[in-house]
Chains A and B, each alone.
Chain A
Amino acid sequence: MCGIAGILFKDPGRTGPVGRIQVEMLQALHRRGPDSTGVALYGPPQAGYLLRARMQPDGDGRLERAREAIEALATVRELAPTPGGVSATLGYEGELGTLADGVEAADETLDVLSLGRSMQIVKEVGSAADLDRAYDISSFQGGHTIGHTRMATESRVDTLHSHPFWARPFADIALVHNGHVTNEHKWRRRLEQRGHSFLTDNDSEVLAGYLADQLERGEDLDEVLERSVRELDGSFAYLVSTADGIGFARDQFGLKPLLLAETDEYVVLASEDVAIRAAFPDDDIHPRELGAGEARSWRR
């Protein structure tokens, strides 16, 4: 059992308090996943790449070591410590996979959590309230976000195994998942044969790669989501986010809950109504449960 939630403001010219909304929704879903919490936050696109990395705490000088590791491959415009690692803005022209792999190879204490022009992934062990205290998620203004509270059932409880998963190495694509994809080994092998690499043994990371691989080949997001319902086995309700949109898919048996509420202004998705009501207590909205096998996306 895990909790997933997403919010998107439809007007591409508008940013809103997506950080606060997401924290309120994830905190309301806390009992669905007390192990760890994470968010993928989307702000206005930047000229450079936004990097978020986890760094193992092993004494002084870690910021300088991170700078050295990154500067070997990219121009560091800004670099700042975070409670669990570093965030940076980079000038870079090459393949993102090369950058991520190169940074990690240059300093083994670094793990790249996300790379994109508008997306930042923040995730840690603990609750949404813990994450907000450490990273001030609530103050983030943006266009859309997806988030996750995790109850680990099949892999380790730590930052790397927390959601969202960056669809490495594709910029600005992330995924949160509630469920268990039982044919993930098949897709992991296929994607690895095509040159993908994964940081964890978590099935949700494979699902992120599976989606991004098709999007990168120019396929339409709605078609990719619909196909995933047929090609993936197991129980799943997942949200995927791109630079300008979010989408969802639910398995053919409807085994994992997912609700949708939509107005002219915004789209909100969550595992339970309690999350939607925590963030929008007074709005005249009528969340409905999405159908088994249903999939759809929205763009700003």
Chain B
Amino acid sequence: MAAVAASQVEIDCSGLPTREINRGIRRAAADGATEIALLHPAGRHNLCVALFDPATVRVRGDAGWYCGGMIDGGTVLIDGNAGWGVAENAMTGRVEVGGNAGTGAGATMHGGELYVAGDAGSRAAISLKGGAVVVGRSVGYMSGFMMQRGSLVVCGDAGEALGDSMYEGTIYVAGEVASLGADAIDAELEPADEEFLRSELDRHELDRDPASFRKVVSGRKLWNFSKKEFEVWKTAL
């Protein structure tokens, strides 16, 4: 570990076990470092998981699976791409991906924010429980599946079965939607939605008109089983 300044620390991941890298991050954060840089991450998994201190970790390159998982208060900035499950189960804090993200971006997030500048793979924001997942370009198949709260903002296109079986929460899409999932329905964009979108778009310097987004919410027909709506259930199951 190399100290650049009192509040800045660099960790070269080359040759270090992932456990040592994450321990190094936590030690540096506990010692008061506010900016921690990971050099040569080389797409390895589980970087920056369970970061509880209010430090900023910059991953200088690609991260593998589950980067920033379970964070609670920290900030993780990934210069390159991220693999499956980036920011999965994050409680609070912020994760940003400069490139593309794999399947399950922001899976089961409870709070905080995940921003993906590029594309996100299948099942983005699956089972989202809070917070916001903002994607600069497109999301893949079955994004927003079973989401329960929070927001998914997609500035590009969305793949098939968007918002399938979602309980609650809101999905906004600027581009084309290949198809809506079971019990996902369109809703009117209200002033509060546009205000939220404007603040997210401004924050990430995304050139989109908030009024151009399509809003998708739960039709709530799957909340309780009803024999009268057998057709809805047949499709969902």
Physical interaction between A and B: yes
User: A235 → chain B, closest Cβ, in Å?
Assistant: 13
Contact flag A272-B83 (CB < 8 Å), given A254-B103, A289-B103: yes
Given the known A-B contacts A257-B102, A257-B103, are A272 and B65 also in contact in the complex, defined by CB atoms under 8 Å? yes
Query: Is A276 interfacial (CB-CB < 8 Å)?
Result: yes
Contact B140 A277 (CB under 8 A): no
Residue A65, interface by CB 8 Å? no
- Total contacting residues, chain A, CB less than 8 A: 19
B54 within 8 A of A: no
Stretch at the interface among B114-122, B166-174, B208-216: B114-122
Is B24 part of the contact surface with A, judged by Cβ < 8 Å?
A: no
Q: Do B42 and A277 touch (CB < 8 A)?
A: yes
Measured in the bound complex, the distance between the Cα atoms of B124 and A292 in whole Å is 13
Cα distance A275–B62 when bound, in Å? 11
A48 at the interface (CB under 8 A from B): no
A257, A273, A274, most chain B CB atoms within 10 A: A273
A29, B107: Cα distance in complex, Å: 24
A295 to chain B, nearest CB (A): 14
Within 8 A of B (CB), among A232-264: 253-254, 257, 259
Chain A 284-300 per-residue mask, 1 if CB under 8 angstroms from chain B, else 0: 00111101110000000
Contact residue among A253, A274, A288, A291 (Cβ-Cβ distance under 8 Å from B42): A274
Q: Which among B61, B119, B121 is the interface contact of A254 at CB below 8 angstroms? A: B121
Residue among A274, A287, A292 making CB contact with B141, cutoff 8 Å:
A292
- Once A272-B43, A272-B64, A274-B64 are accepted as A-B contacts, the answer to whether A288 and B119 lie under 8 Å apart by CB is yes
Q: Is B221 an interface residue (CB 8 A)?
A: no
* B99 at interface, CB cutoff 8 A: yes
Q: How far is the CA of A254 from the CA of B160 in the complex (A)?
A: 12
Complex Cα gap A273–B64 (Å):
7
Given contacts A276-B43, A277-B61, A287-B100, list 20 more A-B pairs with CB under 8 A: A254-B103, A254-B121, A257-B83, A272-B65, A273-B62, A273-B64, A274-B43, A274-B44, A277-B43, A286-B100, A286-B118, A288-B81, A288-B100, A288-B118, A289-B100, A289-B101, A289-B119, A292-B141, A292-B159, A293-B141
- What are 26 A-B residue pairs whose CB atoms fall within 8 Å in the complex? A253-B141, A253-B142, A254-B103, A254-B121, A254-B123, A254-B141, A257-B102, A259-B102, A272-B64, A273-B43, A274-B42, A274-B44, A277-B43, A286-B81, A286-B100, A286-B118, A287-B81, A287-B100, A288-B119, A289-B102, A289-B103, A291-B140, A291-B141, A292-B140, A292-B160, A293-B141
Residues of A within 8 A of B (CB): 253-254, 257, 259, 272-278, 281, 286-289, 291-293
